[in-house]
Structure 1
Amino acid sequence: MAGRRVFVSGVGGELGIQVASMLEEEPWVGAIAGTDADPPRRRLKRTAYHRIHPDEHDRIVSTVIDFNPHVLVHVGVWEPDARAAPQAAASLTDQAATSIVGAAAECSALESVIVRSGIQIYGRARGALTRPDEFAPIRPTSEYGRTLADIERTAASVGRRVGVTVGAVRLASVIGPHVPSPLGRILRLPAVPFAAPANPAFAVIRQTDAARAIVAAAREHLAEPVNVVANGAITATQAARRGRRLSIPVVGPQWPVAGRLSHLTGAPMPDHVVETFRRGHLADNGRMLELLGLVPEQTTPDVIDDLYGWPSIVRRPARKQIA
């Protein structure tokens, strides 16, 4: 395994940076390269970064093929209203997946593909399992869930065509310092909405645990999906109490209004986050240890406590100019 070349897409995002940083410390990893539309905000020691926009198909293809990776780690996924509006996020994610995963299929050294996915892929339709495992049917009911399902289908198709293993790391909502999380932004508002009277539970994952899981998947040549979810669960009202926020009950017809008000405060509420509040988002994480040798270091309540512990923006008046 020593000296394997690893290509990481989405290396400019917070999760991609952490994945690349951890891969740099792995003894089996040789050369590392990565691409993103935005440069990493922290120094990477030995990752060769290529600043390429997802719509630059030919540049992406030539960059990946020239590097000829043994392992492709595709983290270049835009969550709606995280770094881009929903329509733009879907377009950017589709362009990146088509170019990067497709280019990897032309690489003679390719052995394994690992893609970032999410538990939103299972959907939350009426009658859906409350805590689906990896064998549950894929029936997304949000735009983000459908985008993730498309990524998995694209990667699986490439894997079958060229005969390489494909693993999907299905993450709960990722929350952490500097992570642009729409769910995290809403939970930090002075007032947090909750679905009355159901108030269903959801789970999240800390970004460091998410990165550890993706690196473990690359190391183990994961060849199937795995749910990566922090232990424990929390409801919107429980989260609000922990953060000393107000809880605002919202019933079905009021959710569009709540979404518009949240957007005005700078915290847009995409449909998969509305789904989290109204129907809950949980998943069975029982196979993490078996497939990845991983147990998340933080529980869902721990992650939420840390979310409320981050300092808020402090606005300071401009200094007076001295002649």
Structure 2
Amino acid sequence: MRVFITGMGGELGTAVAQLVEDDPSFEAVAGADLFPPRRRLDRAEFHRIDPRNRERMSAVIRAFAPTALLHLGVYEPYSRSSPRAAVARTAAGTAVALEAALAGGRLDRVVVRSGIEVYGRRRGAPLHPDEEVPPAPTSAFGHTMLHVEQVSREAGRRAGAAVTVLRFAPIVGPHVPSPLGRLLRLPAVPFSPLADPAFSVVHQHDVAAAFVAAMRQPFQGPLNVVGPGAVTASQAARLGGRAPVPVVGSGWQVARALARLAGAPVPDHVQELLVRGRTADASRVTEVLGIRMLHHTPDVVRQLYAWEPIDYLRSTAA
């Protein structure tokens, strides 16, 4: 199996690459991203490419001729890119990666990163949607990921390849660039006192394990990947010794402005999570892939707060 990983340079992509290259049954592994890998890779071949550079990205993937494409190149707004750049990089990278992998002529499986944001949080929507609930996104990031799913399914149909869509809960944790994670680490965390709805998250190690399991056992369709349990925003704040601050109505505009000034911009899908909650039924992934999430949501949140900030050394020279 020849595995190509988009988004290899991020925390998640690097973790997936390490799992793949440690398994000698995989013939070769390569990948590309805007940023270099976070850790040393011994066998994987990395190419530093902006996904919007269609010509170079296409040439690299075509030359590699993958049999498996792991598409982690889905950029969350205010994660590693501005909202506009995140949409552009995701759209361009998805299209070129799939077209180039198809052109290689050997593709037989695709695993795609998506998220439970695709279900949306309209009034009356199921609180714990399973994979049978039709996607109906109500945020920009949700629409972006639904587009990735649609493009991937069409490419898989043309190639006759199985396309597994992994719909993750928000991915937070130490070293993971996440707008939700940054917001929760602020000294004061906004929450909705009218409901204080629950949300679930997923640990980056469980994300990496799910990608590799889906590559080994091709499955046609979506699978929810969600950490067991849930917390509310006020509970999360207290777990980290932060001050939960009630916010209602137009006060969210003020809260978002203050968070931006503090270095934690709040995209609409994160505000939606705080106001409406976000969980999903993830029982099918265990049945299909035979894996269980090892990290519960409260534990993932605790790990987020246990991550110490970096203390930069200062020169003592006069």
TM-score normalised by the chain length of structure 1:
0.96
Q: Which whole-Å deviations, capped at 9, do the CAs of 1:186-205 have from their partners, x for residues lacking one?
A: 10100010012100000000
Q: Matched residues in 2 for 1:48 and 1:196: separation?
A: 49
Q: Which whole-Å deviations, capped at 9, do the CAs of 1:226-272 have from their partners, x for residues lacking one?
A: 00000000001111111111110011221121111100000000000
Out of 286, 290, 298, the position equivalent to 2:287 is: 290
The reply to whether residue 46 of structure 1 matches residue 64 of structure 2 is: no
Q: Matched residues in 1 for 2:165 and 2:54: separation?
A: 23
Out of 112, 136, 141, the position equivalent to 1:139 is: 136
Residue aligned with 2:223, SS: strand
Q: What is the RMSD computed on CA atoms of the aligned residues? A: 1.1
Equivalent position of 1:124 in the other structure: 121
Q: Matched residues in 2 for 1:223 and 1:216: separation?
A: 14
Q: Which amino acid aligns with 1:282?
A: T
Equivalent position of 2:72 in the other structure: 75
Q: Matched residues in 2 for 1:211 and 1:152: separation?
A: 19
> Shift in Å at residue 103 of structure 1?
1.2
Out of 105, 113, 125, the position equivalent to 1:108 is: 105
| Residues matched between the structures, number | 318
Equivalent position of 1:152 in the other structure: 149
> Shift in Å at residue 107 of structure 1?
2.1
Query: Segments of 4+ in structure 1 off by > 6 A?
Result: none
Long gaps (5+) in structure 2:
none
Q: Which whole-Å deviations, capped at 9, do the CAs of 1:174-233 have from their partners, x for residues lacking one?
A: 112211011011101000100121000000001111111111111111221100000000
Q: Matched residues in 1 for 2:312 and 2:236: separation?
A: 26
Equivalent position of 1:225 in the other structure: 222
The reply to whether residue 310 of structure 1 matches residue 301 of structure 2 is: no
TM-score normalised by the chain length of structure 2:
0.98
Out of 242, 258, 261, the position equivalent to 1:261 is: 258
Long gaps (5+) in structure 1:
none
Larger displacement relative to structure 2 (197-206 or 19-28): 19-28
Q: Which amino acid aligns with 1:291?
A: V
Q: Which amino acid aligns with 2:188?
A: A
Equivalent position of 2:193 in the other structure: 196
